[in-house]
Amino acid sequence: MSTAAPPQKAPPPRERSGGRLSNGAFALLLTAPGLALFAAIIFYPLLSALFTGFFKQDLRLPGREFAGLDNFTYWLDGDFLTILEQTLIFTVGATLVPFVIGFALALALNTGLKASGFLRGLFLFPWVIPGVVVSFLWMWIFNANYGVLNGVLMETGIIDESVAWLGRPGTAMLAVIVTKTWASFPWMMVMLLAGLQTVPKELHEAASMDGAGSVRRFFAVTWPQVRGVASIVLLLEFIWNFQHFDTIYVLTGGGPAGTTETFATAVYQTAFKGFDIGRATALGGLWMLLLLLLVAAYLRITERKGDA
Amino acid sequence: MTSTTSTPLPAVDRPQPSATRGERGARRRIRKDLLRSRIAAWSAVVVIGAFGLLPVYWLLVTALSTPESTFQFPPKLIPTDLTLSNFTALAENDQLIKYMINSLVVASITAVLSVVVATYMGYSFSKFRYRGRRSLMHLVLASQMFPQALLLVTLYTVFSSFGMLNTYSALVLSFTTFTMPLCVWMLKGIFDTIPDALLEAAAIDGASRWRTLHSIVAPLAAPGMIAAGLFAFVRGWNDFIFALTLADKEKQTLPPGLVSTYIGEFQTAWPQLMAASLVVSVPVIVAFMFLQRYLVGGMTAGSVKS
């Protein structure tokens, strides 16, 4: 498809057969149900959230009281930077690690292994199973008393006694990142493999003929071809992880001692455990501001890639 | 590709020093390269395969284990006594069956609603050019990226003030916040593949714009609409956070239902939980087997290529 399409690309019937509307009006009419839904369930709630941040409001009680910037200063003078830092650690970790693994696998499957179609399907498994199931499974693997990870590590003599992976401040974030990595590397693999398959094989052979080693070939031939897909995959995954909730909530609930608290869990807990919607939405507003910057970056990059 | 000056080809009799030896060397190098890349490829597959698939193996083993052998440390990596009792116990648990019915109902309605609404919107985006179209498209794309946890907080207050908490409608509407943007973009991609000439021909034959959409375009796009619907179904089926918060035991779906059923304060019934997890995963896995074909196309249409 092309962007450069002139204003009236496919003008279905002019004014014939019951079409009293102009094409533009007809097109807008088609979007009306969708827009109404979007307005009701996304835009109105988000706007009202931004507004609520300026009030003192209890989730369980009706009514509210204007609070000025109190809710915002509560965070900015308090845990904001810690939460931001932890959100970024999670986001960067859970984006880069699966990217590297997914890319390695995509490169491997792209070398023309006989079983590559079958393997691709098999590797999709972790991504296909529901996120909550992923969390349950890893919670069980990381279990302090009976977990298989502790079992294997102790049998092989790597550790001497069981580690409460999810219960220790030093390891909880790592465990959460490993879990999220497991769930998302297959998606990275699929997308990057699709990108790699557009690289003509002849280019590699030619480069190889000219004496380019594999590292050189990677940077000279492969990378330029997948750079576009890679940057969008990275950015999308970054945006998703920046607001990711399920894995962290099920595995640690933000603990232990708040060491895996991110914007998502903090907003959720403040609203539904602390019942303080004013504070929850204030933090949400700050969070959304940061997300909007990311989304703007995403839109710019997709825009540059082609039409929209 | 339209260079105005063409570089002259090198003279035919250009000296080619030791052509055969160089060629043989290059070929040997390529063969060695190929072998080396095969070895590297298989090593990557094996290492990542262990990381990717051993947890799945453990999921299966635990689901088939007796409670006694589960609470044994160190765990037996190769189980000896397997049982199906965890699965039969599921079938007898009325509350879980209720959760499953809720999941089916809510995910199906979500899928139908998302596809119907997204069909009109996607068609509009694909086949018409009007002012504000691009902004609308960006708005739809961006809405997919707003923080769900924040949206949930206010959706909760909205639904609460309308007395809609613990209803199917609340779940369907909240799921639609993340299924609709996806469907709009997928369906736009599908309508883009339907040639404009077809619509023009229909117009010339006197079909109205509604008729063209409903009787000509929709049947052609049906496979894509089904794919979009399946995606929406899966996303609704998988949701955890909205269902957890907006519904109680009566209307809750399976993912949060599993937490309240199995994850206890002190002891978790791991074998049953793993068995239930497998059951939850089955419809999704089946859906994805049908969707394989659309997977990359759909994902790229929705997010990458636009």
Q: Using one digit for the tens of pLDDT, what is the confidence trace for A64-75?
A: 889 889 999 999
Query: What does the pLDDT read at residue B6?
Result: 46
Nearest-CA distance B151 → chain A (Å): 6
Pick from A181, A183, A178: nearest CA to A147: A178
Place of tokens 């339209």: B2
**How far is Cα A126 from Cα B300, in angstroms, rounded to an integer?**
20
Average confidence score pLDDT of chain A: 86
Element (H, E) at A55: strand A55-56
Best mean pLDDT range from A109-113, A150-154, B112-116: B112-116
Using CA atoms, how far apart are residues A266 and A74, in angstroms rounded to an integer? Answer: 13
pLDDT per residue over A94-147, tens digit each? 999 999 999 999 999 888 777 877 888 888 889 889 999 999 999 999 998 888
Mean pLDDT calculated for residue range A1-30:
62
In the predicted structure, residue A181 carries a pLDDT above the cut 80: yes
Buried b (16+ CB within 10 A) or exposed e, B270-282: bbbbbbbbbbbbe
At residue A22 the predicted structure's pLDDT band, cuts being 50, 70 and 90, is confident
Q: Which of B65, B146, B262 to mutate to test the interface with A (most CBs of A within 10 A)?
A: B146
Count contacts between A and B (CB, < 8 Å).
340
B155: confidence class by pLDDT, cuts 50, 70, 90: very high
pTM: 0.86
Contacts of B231 in chain A (CB under 8 A): none
pLDDT one-digit tens code per residue, A209-223: 777 777 888 888 888
How far does A200 lie from chain B, in Å, by closest CA? 16
Residue B203 in contact with partner chain A when CB distance is under 8 A: yes
The rounded percent of chain B whose pLDDT value lies above 90 is 46
pLDDT band per the 50, 70, 90 thresholds, residue B101:
very high
Chain A neighbours among B 110-149 (CB < 8 Å)?
116-118, 120-121, 123-125, 127-131, 133-134, 136-143, 145-149
Q: Which residues of B touch A246 (CB under 8 A)?
A: 240-241
A27-56 pLDDT per residue, tens: 999 999 999 999 999 999 988 888 999 999
Query: What pLDDT score does B19 carry?
Result: 54
- What percent of chain A lies above the pLDDT cut of 70? 92
Q: Is the pLDDT of residue B278 over 90?
A: yes
pLDDT at residue B165 tops 70:
yes
Phi, psi dihedrals of residue A144, rounded to the nearest 5°: -70, -35
Within 10 Å of residue A60's Cβ, how many Cβ atoms?
8
**Distance between alpha carbon B73 and the CA centroid of its chain, in Å?**
37
What gap in Å lies between CA A34 and CA B118, rounded to an integer?
7
**Per-residue model confidence as pLDDT tens digits over B17-64:** 555 667 777 778 778 777 887 888 899 999 999 999 999 999 999 999
Residue A133 is inside which H or E element, if any?
Answer: helix A131-141
Per-window interface: B 42-81 vs A, CB < 8 A: 42, 44-45, 48-49, 51-53, 55-56, 58-59, 62, 70-75, 77
Give the pLDDT confidence score for residue A6 in this predicted structure. 46
State residue A155's pLDDT score. Answer: 86
Q: What is the rounded distance in angstroms from the CA atom of residue A280 to the CA atom of residue B147?
A: 13
d(CA A261, CA A173): 9
Instruction: Tell me whether residues B241 and A124 touch, CB distance under 8 A.
Output: no
Torsion of CA A244, A246, A247, A253, to 10 degrees: 100
Q: What pLDDT was estimated at residue A308?
A: 39
Task: Quote the pLDDT of residue B18.
Answer: 54
Measured CA to CA, the distance from residue B124 to residue A25 in angstroms comes to: 10
* Cβ–Cβ contact B26 with A under 8 A: yes
SS3 B268: strand
* Confidence band for A4, pLDDT divided at 50, 70 and 90: very low
Residue B2 has pLDDT above 50, yes or no: no
| Angstrom distance (rounded) from CA A241 to CA A90 | 7
Contacts of B124 in chain A (CB under 8 A): 27-28, 30-31
